[in-house]
Amino acid sequence: MNLYVFGNGNLAFSDFLSYYVPVLNLVLEIKDHQFLVCDFRGTDTLVMEFLKSRTQNVTVFHIGERPRYLPDRYRTDVSKWRLSSSFLSDRTRDDAAIAACDHFLAFDANSTEARVSGTAQNIARCLELGRVRLAPERLSRTAV
pLDDT tens sequence across 102-116: 999 999 988 889 999
pLDDT at residue number 47 = 98
pLDDT band of 141, cuts 50, 70, 90: very low
User: Quick one: how far is CA 29 from the chain centroid?
Assistant: 17
Kindly state the DSSP code that residue 20 receives in the 8-state scheme: I
pLDDT at residue number 109 = 87
Distances (CA, A) of 35 to 32, 110, 117: 10, 24, 22
Task: Evaluate if residue 144 carries a pLDDT over 70.
Answer: no
Q: Confirm whether pTM is higher than 0.85.
A: yes
pLDDT tens sequence across 50-90: 999 999 999 999 998 899 999 999 999 999 999 999 899 99
pLDDT band of 30, cuts 50, 70, 90: very high
pLDDT at residue number 139 = 41
